[in-house]
Structure 1
Amino acid sequence: MKQTRILMDIPITVEICDPEAREYDIEQLFAYFMSIDEQFSPFRDTSMVSRFNAGKLKEDEWSDDFKKITTWCQRTSQETDGFFFADRDGIFDPTGLVKGWAIFRAAHMLLEVGYENFSVEAGGDFQSFGFNAEGKPWTIGIRDPFHPGQIVKVLQPGDLGVATSGSYLRGDHIADPVAGETLGDIVSLTVIAPNVFHADRFATACFAMGRAGLDFLEKRPAMAGYMIDRDGIATWTSNFPAFVVDHD
Structure 2
Amino acid sequence: MRVPGGGGRSRDQRRRRGLAAPLGGRGRPDLRLGVGRRNERPGTTLTDRVVARHTVQTSIGEYTMILNGAGVIGRREIGDALRDAVAELRAIDLTYSPARPASLVARLRRGEISAEAYPPLADIVARCAAMRAATDGWFDAWAVPGGFDPGGLLCGWAVERAAARLRAGGVGNYAVVSGADLTVRGYAPHGGPWRIAVHHPTDGARPPVMLEMTSGAVGTSGVAGRRDHVVDPHTGEPANRLVAATVTGPDLTVADGYATALYAAGRAGLDWFPTRDGYRALFAAPR
| TM-score of the alignment, normalized to the shorter chain, above 0.5 | yes
Q: Is the 8 A contact 1:39 1:66 kept in 2?
A: no
Instruction: Please identify, of 95-104 and 2-11, the stretch whose mean Cα deviation from structure 2 is larger.
Output: 2-11
Residue 169 of structure 1: CA displacement? 3.8
Residue 219 of structure 1: CA displacement? 5.6
Q: For 1:208 and 1:47, how far apart are their aligned partners in 2?
A: 27
Residue 150 of structure 1: CA displacement? 8.6
User: Which residue does the alignment assign to 1:15?
Assistant: 66
1:63 is the counterpart of 2:114:
no
Q: Is the 8 A contact 1:8 1:34 kept in 2?
A: no
User: Which residue does the alignment assign to 2:8?
Assistant: none
User: Which residue does the alignment assign to 2:32?
Assistant: none
- Equivalent residue of 2:166, what SS? helix
1:173 is the counterpart of 2:224:
no
Equivalent residue runs for 1:199-218 within 5 Å: 199-218=255-274
Structure number with higher helix proportion: 1
Structure 2 letter corresponding to 1:81 = D
Deviations 1:47-102 (A, max 9, x none): 11112222323556x43221100111111111111111111245110111111111
Structure 2 letter corresponding to 1:227 = A
Structure 2 letter corresponding to 1:103 = V
User: Which residue does the alignment assign to 1:228?
Assistant: 285
User: Which residue does the alignment assign to 1:160?
Assistant: 216
Q: For 2:108 and 2:93, how far apart are their aligned partners in 1?
A: 15
Q: For 1:15 and 1:150, how far apart are their aligned partners in 2?
A: 27
Residue 185 of structure 1: CA displacement? 2.6
Residue 168 of structure 1: CA displacement? 5.3
User: Which residue does the alignment assign to 1:3?
Assistant: 54
Summarize the Cα distance change of 1:168–1:6 in structure 2 as closer, same or farther, 3 Å threshold. Answer: closer
- Equivalent residue of 1:182, what SS? coil
Q: Is the 8 A contact 1:168 1:188 kept in 2?
A: no
User: Which residue does the alignment assign to 1:142?
Assistant: 198
Q: Is the 8 A contact 2:179 2:224 kept in 1?
A: no
User: Which residue does the alignment assign to 2:128?
Assistant: 73
Q: Is the 8 A contact 1:86 1:92 kept in 2?
A: yes
Q: For 1:69 and 1:168, how far apart are their aligned partners in 2?
A: 21
Residue 183 of structure 1: CA displacement? 2.0
- Equivalent residue of 1:2, what SS? strand
User: Which residue does the alignment assign to 2:90?
Assistant: 34
Deviations 1:161-211 (A, max 9, x none): 111001554322212212332222301111001221221111111211111
Q: Is the 8 A contact 1:167 1:173 kept in 2?
A: no
User: What are structure 1's unaligned runs of at least 5 residues?
Assistant: 231-248
| Number of residue pairs the alignment of both structures matches | 229
User: What are structure 2's unaligned runs of at least 5 residues?
Assistant: 1-51
Q: For 1:30 and 1:150, how far apart are their aligned partners in 2?
A: 35
Summarize the Cα distance change of 1:198–1:9 in structure 2 as closer, same or farther, 3 Å threshold. Answer: closer
Residue 155 of structure 1: CA displacement? 2.1
Q: Is the 8 A contact 2:68 2:174 kept in 1?
A: yes
Deviations 1:207-227 (A, max 9, x none): 111112222214657222111
Residue 154 of structure 1: CA displacement? 2.8
Instruction: Please identify, of 145-154 and 89-98, the stretch whose mean Cα deviation from structure 2 is larger.
Output: 145-154
Q: Is the 8 A contact 1:141 1:155 kept in 2?
A: yes
Q: Is the 8 A contact 1:142 1:154 kept in 2?
A: yes
TM-score, length of structure 1 as denominator length? 0.83
Question: What percent of counterpart residues are identical?
Answer: 32
Equivalent residue runs for 1:38-57 within 5 Å: 38-57=94-113
Structure 1 outlier segments of 4+, above 6 Å: 148-151
Larger Rg: 2
